[in-house]
Amino acid sequence: MHHTVILAFVALFGASQIFAAEPHIHTSRTSQKILPLPKSDDVFHFIVFGDRTGGPAEGIKVLAQAVEDSNLLDPDLVMTVGDLVQGYNQTDAWIKQMEEFHATMSKLKMPWFPVAGNHDIYWRRSPTNSEPRPPRKHEANYEKHFGPLWYWFEHKNTGFLVLFSDEGHPDGRVRSFNDREQQQISREQMSWIAAELEKMRRLKHIFVFLHHPFWWGECYPANNWDDVHKLLAKNGNVRAVLAGHIHQMRYDGERDGIGYYALATTGGSLTEGMEYEYFGLLHHFNVVTVRDSGFSMATIPVGGVIDPRQFTPARLAEVEAARYLLHEFLSPPISLRPDGSAAATCQVAVSNACALPIDVTLLAKTDSSWVTAPDHRHAKIESGQRKVFEFGLIREATQTLDGYAAPEFELRFDVLTPDARLAMPNRTRRVRTTPLPPGDSWPVATTNGFFAFDGKAACLEIEREQVPRLDGPFTVEAWVKPASTNDGGLVSNLRVGGFGLHIAGTPQFSVQTDARGVDSRRREIEPAIVAKAKSKLPIDQWSHLAGVYDGRRITLYVNGREAASTNATGVRLDSDKSLYIAARPNGAFNVHNFSYPTAFWNGALDEVRVSRGARYRESFKPATDLAADPSTIFLLSNDQHFGPFVPAVGDSVHATIKGAPKLMLSER
Tens of pLDDT, residues 523-534: 556 788 999 999
pLDDT value of residue 523: 54
Q: Is residue 356 over pLDDT 60?
A: yes
Q: Give the pLDDT mean for 286-295.
A: 95
Is 84:52 a contact under the CB 8 Å cutoff?
A: yes
Is 145:98 a contact under the CB 8 Å cutoff?
A: yes
% of the chain beyond a pLDDT of 90: 79
Q: Is residue 5 over pLDDT 50?
A: no
Q: Is residue 330 over pLDDT 70?
A: yes
Report the chain's mean pLDDT, rounded to a whole number: 92
Tens of pLDDT, residues 100-138: 999 999 999 999 999 999 999 999 999 888 899 999 999
42-319 and 449-665 share one fold: no
pLDDT value of residue 516: 53
pLDDT value of residue 113: 98
- Domain map (residue ranges) of the chain: 1-30, 42-319, 328-435, 449-665
Tens of pLDDT, residues 453-476: 999 999 999 999 998 888 889 999
CATH architecture of 449-665: Sandwich (2.60)
pLDDT value of residue 650: 67
Q: Give the pLDDT mean for 200-216.
A: 98
Q: Give the pLDDT mean for 244-261.
A: 97
DSSP codes of every residue in 261-330: EE--BSSS---TT---GGGT-SB-EEEEEEETTEEEEEEE-TT--B-GGG--HHHHHHHHHHHT---EE-
Q: How confident is the model at residue 67 (pLDDT cuts 50, 70, 90)?
A: very high
Tally Cβ neighbours within 10 Å of residue 202. 10
Q: Give the pLDDT mean for 171-180.
A: 92
| Rounded Cα–Cα distance for residues 561 and 558 (Å) | 5
Tens of pLDDT, residues 137-171: 999 999 999 999 999 999 999 999 999 999 999 99
Q: Give the pLDDT mean for 504-520.
A: 78
**Fold of the CATH domain 328-435:** Immunoglobulin-like (2.60.40)
Residue 497 is classified by DSSP as B
Tens of pLDDT, residues 218-241: 999 999 999 999 999 999 999 999
pLDDT value of residue 305: 57
Query: Distances from the Cα of 158 to the Cαs of 204, 256, 261, in angstroms?
Result: 6, 19, 18
Residue 306 has φ and ψ, to the nearest 5°, of -125, 140
pLDDT value of residue 504: 96
Q: How confident is the model at residue 6 (pLDDT cuts 50, 70, 90)?
A: very low
pLDDT value of residue 58: 86
Q: Partners of 508 in the beta sheet?
A: 502, 532
Higher-confidence residue: 127 or 428? 428
Query: Distances from the Cα of 623 to the Cαs of 261, 607, 664, in angstroms?
Result: 64, 10, 20
Q: Is residue 22 over pLDDT 90?
A: no
- Three-state SS across 323-348? HCCCCEECCCCEEECCCCCEEEEEEE
pLDDT value of residue 51: 97
Distance between first and last Cα of the chain: 80
Is 104:64 a contact under the CB 8 Å cutoff?
A: yes
CATH 3.20.20.220 applies to domain 42-319: no
Residue 36 has φ and ψ, to the nearest 5°, of -70, 145
pLDDT value of residue 8: 42
Tally Cβ neighbours within 10 Å of residue 174. 15
pLDDT value of residue 3: 45
Q: Give the pLDDT mean for 29-41.
A: 84
Q: Is residue 75 over pLDDT 70?
A: yes
Amino acid at the residue 61: K
Residue 646 has φ and ψ, to the nearest 5°, of -120, 100
Where b means 16+ CB within 10 Å and e means fewer, 529-557 reads: bbbbbeeebeeeebebbbbbbbeeebbbb
**If DSSP codes are grouped into helix, strand and coil, which group holds residue 195?**
helix
% of the chain beyond a pLDDT of 70: 93
Is 201:207 a contact under the CB 8 Å cutoff?
A: no
